[in-house]
Amino acid sequence: MNPVVGLDVAKGESQVQAFLDQSKPYGKSFSMKHIKEELDHFLEFLKEIEEVTGQMPMVILESTGHYHSPVIQYLEDQGILYILLNPIISYQAKKSSLRKVKTDAIDAYQLCVLYYKEDLEPHKIRGIQLLDLRNLSRKQEIVTNMYVEAKLQFHTILDQVFPEYRKVFGDLYSKVSLLMLKEYPTSEAVLTAGESRSVYESHVINLRMYIELLFHYQGHLSDLEDRIVALANELEEYKIIQSIPGIGEKIAATIISEIGEIDRFNNPKKLVAFAGVDPSVHSSGKFTATINRMTKRGSSRLRHSLYLAVLCGIRSSRNKKLKAFFDKKKSEGKPAKVAIVACMNKLLHWVYALLKRKEAFLDLS
Give pLDDT, residue 219: 94
Query: pLDDT tens digits for 58-73?
Result: 999 988 878 888 898 8
Contact call for residues 174 and 131 (beta carbons, < 8 A): no
The proportion of the chain whose per-residue pLDDT surpasses 90, expressed as a percent, equals 39
Give pLDDT, residue 202: 76
Assigned CATH topology for domain 4-117 = Nucleotidyltransferase; domain 5 (3.30.420)
Query: pLDDT tens digits for 139-152?
Result: 999 999 999 999 99
Contact call for residues 73 and 19 (beta carbons, < 8 A): no
Give pLDDT, residue 280: 75
Query: Which region, left, alpha or beta, applies to residue 285 given φ > 0 means left and ψ of -120 to 50 means alpha?
Result: left
SS3 37: helix
Query: pLDDT tens digits for 176-213?
Result: 999 988 888 877 776 665 444 544 577 788 888 999 99
pLDDT for 4 beyond 50:
yes
Give pLDDT, residue 330: 92
SS3 19: strand
Give pLDDT, residue 2: 87
Q: How far apart are CA 16 and CA 41, in angstroms?
A: 12
Distance, CA of 339 to chain centre: 24
| φ, ψ (nearest 5 deg) of residue 112 | -65, -40
Taking the model in full, what pTM does it have?
0.73
Give pLDDT, residue 196: 47
What pLDDT band is residue 309 in, cutting at 50, 70 and 90? very high
* Alpha-carbon separation of residue 2 from 56, 58, 97, 115, 355 (angstroms): 9, 8, 23, 10, 35
Contact call for residues 61 and 75 (beta carbons, < 8 A): no
Give pLDDT, residue 194: 46
Cβ atoms < 10 Å from Cβ of 333: 8
Q: How far apart are CA 114 and CA 128, in angstroms?
A: 30
Beta sheet of 13-21, edge-to-edge order: 24-33, 13-21, 4-9, 58-62, 82-85
Instruction: Annotate 260-283 with b (16+ C-beta within 10 A) or e (fewer).
Output: bebeebeebeebbbbbbbbeeeee
Query: pLDDT tens digits for 38-57?
Result: 999 999 999 999 999 989 99
Q: What integer is the mean pLDDT of 211-227? A: 93
Q: How far apart are CA 27 and CA 79, in angstroms?
A: 24
Query: pLDDT tens digits for 235-282?
Result: 889 999 999 998 988 899 999 999 988 888 888 998 998 888 887 776
Query: pLDDT tens digits for 75-130?
Result: 988 888 898 887 766 666 666 564 566 677 888 888 888 888 877 777 777 778 88
Give pLDDT, residue 128: 80
Give pLDDT, residue 131: 83
The proportion of the chain whose per-residue pLDDT surpasses 70, expressed as a percent, equals 89
pLDDT for 288 beyond 70:
no
The domain ranges of the chain are 4-117, 128-232, 244-284+291-357
Least-confidence region, from 153-162, 187-196, 310-319, 354-363 = 187-196
